[in-house]
Amino acid sequence: MKKLLTLLAMVFVFNAHADWKSVFISGDDSIPNFDNGRIAISELFHTLGAYQEFQTHLTSDRNLVTPQVKLATLNNIARAFVGLRVNQKVDGCLLFMTSHGIKNFGFYLSAGYEGKEGAITPDQLSQILDATCGEAPTVLLISSCFSGQFIEKLARDNRVIMTAAIKDRPSFGCSTDTVYTYWDECMLDNIPYNNTWEELYSDVKQCITRKESALGFQPSLPQAFFGKKVRNMAILDK
């Protein structure tokens, strides 16, 4: 944690034109679904003309690590946000993260602590975002079981938060018989047809309900939070 806080203290003042800066994370490499989701969501946004520049990717699959795609350790996640150099007066932040979740603990990272499995907790992610994105408009898309646990710690007036499940229930599609998790796939299917994050949340919930009902699964109950400063915010640059 001391190393993490040292990284957070390195935030730069950066005078740039208004832009959205983004981080895409796949937290586990035991199945390809998470990297599939990270890549596909990023490419979809690119196709729609959104979040094309200042984009950082992190993966837990060492075979996919390149100079441009870092290993998804806790320290590298902190470095990624510092590296965005967000000007909080004119820039915005977007985070998409997909993996397994750990009930009452956080978002699973198979390489989380310099190569050893661990997690990023709501408190840790809150520290990172407060120190880097701060007051900038921020969109957080968290795809994992129990991901609703992040809302209480991360809720701010300037943030949109969408999660794949309520804090005490699993989400589905984390298996080898699917290409994407259910929530990631519902996001991919619905992003092009919605104008605001609130509209997208409504359609994704309906999509998830259809998938889970068809298979008799316990509802995962995707959650969302829309801060008062970003109510009805557009899915930017679409």
Reading the block at residue 139, the tokens are 């969109």
pLDDT of residue 238: 44
Domain limits for position 192: 18-230
Task: Please indicate, yes or no, if residue 182 is contained in any of the structural domains.
Answer: yes
pLDDT of residue 34: 98
CATH number of the structural domain spanning residue 25 = 3.40.50.1460
pLDDT of residue 74: 95
Q: Half-sphere exposure (CA, 13 Å, Cβ side) for 232? A: 0
Task: Please indicate, yes or no, if residue 114 is contained in any of the structural domains.
Answer: yes
Q: Distance between CA atoms of 65 and 159, rounded to whole angstroms?
A: 30
Average pLDDT per run of 10 along the chain, which is 238 residues long?
47 48 97 98 92 90 96 96 94 97 97 83 98 97 98 98 98 95 98 96 98 97 97 78
Beta strands in 7-156 (DSSP E): 20-26, 55-59, 69-71, 92-98, 101-102, 106-113, 116-120, 138-143
Closest CA to 212 of 179, 154, 169: 169
Whether 113 and 68 have beta carbons less than 8 Å apart is answered as: no
Task: Please indicate, yes or no, if residue 11 is contained in any of the structural domains.
Answer: no
What length is written for the chain?
Answer: 238
Task: Please indicate, yes or no, if residue 133 is contained in any of the structural domains.
Answer: yes
* Domain tally, the chain: 1
Return mean pLDDT, the chain: 91
Q: What is the pTM of this model?
A: 0.92
- Residue 231 CB coordination number (10 Å): 12
Task: Please indicate, yes or no, if residue 46 is contained in any of the structural domains.
Answer: yes
Name the helix (H) or strand (E) containing 94: strand 92-98
pLDDT of residue 131: 98
Task: Please indicate, yes or no, if residue 7 is contained in any of the structural domains.
Answer: no
Whether 118 and 74 have beta carbons less than 8 Å apart is answered as: yes
Task: Please indicate, yes or no, if residue 214 is contained in any of the structural domains.
Answer: yes
The single residue listed with the structure tokens 């909080």 is: 88
pLDDT of residue 53: 76
pLDDT of residue 236: 66
pLDDT of residue 49: 86
